[in-house]
Chains A and B, each alone.
Chain A
């Protein structure tokens, strides 16, 4: 699959899962995965999913504005850089965010998130 198509597919899948079945994100991370969420560092799929499922909002919707990707090196990794809006239920204004993922291939031929960094973009 061409890298652009792959990263778009991944981004769509990631945010749809986040918005509709947040606990389902667990199979996109592994024990070695790292998340930095607004400066807080978390390691490992279980800890990461605990963090994401306990964020102080229930319903949310990500709308993606830009997706950029580049191959990261000979190991077949892919860097994906996303910007978009995050609308929380009940909030009038959407939050703007940027996020980067470093995806690594699995032996089964799919990808998991090795590095994940999320930041809100304040005005």
Chain B
């Protein structure tokens, strides 16, 4: 059971950042109307607002490199919490930015997962 949670978490993270880096608008498939994102302290709710924010970040090309992925089952009905740390390389920038992000994934009726909660923070210093 624990292994399954870990597998789902890792597969999700790989898929999420791959979409982010190659086809950012497709992230809309991973959020619902109830989803919440806090991006560097700014709060957004709902797939439309979230995707608008992510599609309008002040950079075009980027690449996420993941250092750590930790997963645990969350208490609610098949949910999974995923805690990620890594670096974000922006095209044209010499130094990558370090970040931490947590996702709370909830199962869909079709047997996959969507992002119910998403919190992103850059790690400075």
Q: A73-B76, A98-B85 known; A121 and B36 CB under 8 Å? A: no
**A81 within 8 Å of B (CB atoms):** yes
Q: Is the CB of A77 within 8 A of B74?
A: yes
Q: Is the CB of A104 within 8 A of B70?
A: no
Q: Is the CB of B70 within 8 A of A70?
A: no
Chain B residue nearest in CB terms to A73: B76
Stretch at the interface among B15-23, B24-32, B49-57, B113-121: B113-121
Determine how close the nearest CB of chain A comes to the CB of B70; give it in whole angstroms: 5
Q: Is the CB of B76 within 8 A of A75?
A: yes
Q: Is the CB of A102 within 8 A of B75?
A: yes
Give every chain B residue within 8 A of A71 (Cβ-Cβ).
36
CA distance A75 to B116 in the complex (A): 14
CA distance A115 to B76 in the complex (A): 11
Count of residues in A whose CB is under 8 Å from the partner chain: 28
CA distance A29 to B27 in the complex (A): 35
Q: Is the CB of B72 within 8 A of A117?
A: yes
Determine how close the nearest CB of chain B comes to the CB of A111; give it in whole angstroms: 12
**B68 within 8 Å of A (CB atoms):** yes
Chain A residue nearest in CB terms to B77: A73
**B81 within 8 Å of A (CB atoms):** yes
User: What residues of chain A have their CB less than 8 Å away from a CB belonging to chain B?
Assistant: 32, 34, 36, 39, 41, 66, 68, 70-75, 77, 79, 81, 83, 96, 98, 100, 102, 104, 114-115, 117, 119, 121, 123
New A-B pairs, 17, CB < 8 Å, besides A73-B79, A74-B76, A119-B85: A34-B73, A36-B83, A39-B68, A41-B72, A68-B119, A70-B36, A70-B104, A73-B76, A83-B123, A98-B85, A98-B100, A102-B74, A102-B75, A102-B81, A114-B74, A115-B72, A115-B81
